[in-house]
Structure 1
Amino acid sequence: MNNKYIALGIIIGLLFISLVILFCILLGKLYIKKIKEHNQKELDFQKNINEAILETQEQVLNNISQDLHDDAGQQLTYINFQIENLKFDSPELNSQLEPLSQSVNNLSQSIRSISHALNNQLLLQQDLLKAITTEVERLQKNPKITIQLDSEESIQKVFTANEKIVIYRIFQELINNTLKHSKATKIDIVVRAMPHFTLQVSDNGKGFEVNATTKQSLGLANMKSRAAIIEYQLEIKSKIGEGTTVILSENIK
């Protein structure tokens, strides 16, 4: 009889322990779920902020593009018109005025190219690779630096509007940062779509300490935030005296 009570007590004890363990497991899962939901809300909140910042930046760039086209472009057209009139009225000054006329025309074309590069509506209307190629061709006119583009003839990937804008803006910022800070004489740009999209920009400049710089550079932080919006990643490789390589690529899930 006592053995039966002992066995029953053991069974009840095991059941109680099992219930406690099950309760702890369920409580743990609930806690993990809450943590994940909280983290997801934080990520969604940060993503919404980044998207709002991106939208504001794009609006500012569009406004600048419009001002360049409407104001600066028209002013240069007027100046060139005045020069042409002066050349017509005073043919003897043609040789002196021709270089000035050419410079105004070159400046007008540069402003037009910059205006187009800043306007995301024009970007959305064309192929991303074509937009990058056009910008490279404009930059290649700079005699102080060699810029080479290695890309596939066409990219079959279909980009969303956000992907197009973000990839192109990151590309622009990478090039601008290189021209401003790197003291490079050569920039190599590689664009690939297979097995997944990657944009790689490398230079032979002075380089920098990545860990020390990324904590301070708003430009690098801004590019990483932009990449996160479209679920891409930005990898930065650099050493002092050995140049810099930055790779923008899709997150492979």
Structure 2
Amino acid sequence: MNQVVLGIIIAFIFIGLILFFCVILIRLYFNKIRKYTELLHEKDLNFQKAVTKTVLETQEQVLNNISQDLHDDAGQQLTYINFQIENMKLDSPELEKILEPVSQSLGNLSKSIRSISHALNSQLLLQQDVIKAIITEIERLQKNNKIEIAFSFEEIEVKEFSDNEKIIIYRIFQECLSNIFKHAKASKMSVSITTSPHFKMIITDNGKGFNSADKKDKLSLGLTNMASRANSIAYQLDVESQPGSGTLIILSENKKI
């Protein structure tokens, strides 16, 4: 009888050991799968980052080329035309009053092209403070009577931006304003920037709005590209909009306060 009991106990211990080892093997198997999945996910993220970086570098090169063309070609052409007008004034003093408005318009156009050229050139952007670059662009756009632009900036502590942050923050700012001027049909817009404790830029307009949940609308307005740009520097882009209710766009550092 004792031998039977002892045999049963040994059998239970043996079965228990088998189950214990099975549990260990299963846990090791699942851990291996989890690590493999994490590795694949990391490789996928690295690949996406590499693709995004390549796309962004290509876009910046194109913008730099356009900036150079505006400066070298359009700028020089305007200078030559203005030179000819000045010669006409000297040759025919009676035409001076007629030509003066044209000369002033050419001068204003030349300044605008120079400002646009500088805004497109990332190398020039890197040489200055990104907030000052944004302020300069807003001041240029405030001369446009079609839309009222309000701007506020709060800086408790001076924030240092990396080169990538400067370029991407400014490009997203440009893209947002371009969408407002082209598509929103807004009469008012505002840009608000804070840098403490983390960077946040809020852009709103009172335009016609759109369905921010619609992927097609996001694609057509370049919001997907802006979100990818933001993600590449660990920032977050949030968009809220409904037809007839204007649009709210928030660009912020993806950090918890």
Structure 1 length-normalised TM: 0.97
My pick for the range that moved more, 208-217 or 31-40, is: 208-217
Is the contact between residue 156 and residue 196 of structure 2 (CA under 8 Å) also seen in structure 1?
A: no
1:199 aligns with 2:201: yes
Distance change >3 Å, CA 155–CA 203, structure 1 → 2: farther
Distance change >3 Å, CA 251–CA 214, structure 1 → 2: farther
1:1-253 counterparts in 2 under 5 A?
1-153=3-155, 156-212=158-214, 213-214=216-217, 216-217=219-220, 219-252=222-255
In 2, the alpha carbon distance for the partners of 1:31 and 1:196 equals: 37
Is the contact between residue 208 and residue 238 of structure 1 (CA under 8 Å) also seen in structure 2?
A: yes
| Aligned CA-pair RMSD | 1.3
Distance change >3 Å, CA 214–CA 4, structure 1 → 2: farther
Residue 24 of structure 2: SS of its match in structure 1?
A: helix
Distance change >3 Å, CA 164–CA 205, structure 1 → 2: same
My pick for the range that moved more, 234-243 or 153-162, is: 153-162
In 2, the alpha carbon distance for the partners of 1:18 and 1:163 equals: 53
My pick for the range that moved more, 153-162 or 115-124, is: 153-162
Aligned length: 253
In 1, the alpha carbon distance for the partners of 2:111 and 2:181 equals: 21
Residue 213 of structure 2: SS of its match in structure 1?
A: helix
In 1, the alpha carbon distance for the partners of 2:251 and 2:217 equals: 16
My pick for the range that moved more, 167-176 or 221-230, is: 221-230
My pick for the range that moved more, 207-216 or 133-142, is: 207-216
Per the TM alignment, residue 228 of structure 1 is displaced from its structure 2 partner at its CA by 1.3
Is the contact between residue 214 and residue 221 of structure 1 (CA under 8 Å) also seen in structure 2?
A: no
Per the TM alignment, residue 195 of structure 1 is displaced from its structure 2 partner at its CA by 2.0
Distance change >3 Å, CA 166–CA 139, structure 1 → 2: same
Provide structure 2 residue ranges, at least 5 long, that are not aligned to the other structure.
none
Q: Deviations over 1:5-52 (max 9, x none)?
A: 211111111111111011111111110111111011111101100100
Per the TM alignment, residue 75 of structure 1 is displaced from its structure 2 partner at its CA by 0.7
In 1, the alpha carbon distance for the partners of 2:71 and 2:25 equals: 68
Amino acid at match of 2:236: Q
Structure 2 length-normalised TM: 0.95
Q: Deviations over 1:171-219 (max 9, x none)?
A: 0000000100000011100111122111111000011111124454261
Per the TM alignment, residue 154 of structure 1 is displaced from its structure 2 partner at its CA by 7.2
In 1, the alpha carbon distance for the partners of 2:137 and 2:195 equals: 19
My pick for the range that moved more, 155-164 or 224-233, is: 155-164
In 2, the alpha carbon distance for the partners of 1:27 and 1:124 equals: 50
In 1, the alpha carbon distance for the partners of 2:167 and 2:157 equals: 16
My pick for the range that moved more, 162-171 or 214-223, is: 214-223
Identity across aligned pairs (percent)? 56
Per the TM alignment, residue 153 of structure 1 is displaced from its structure 2 partner at its CA by 5.0
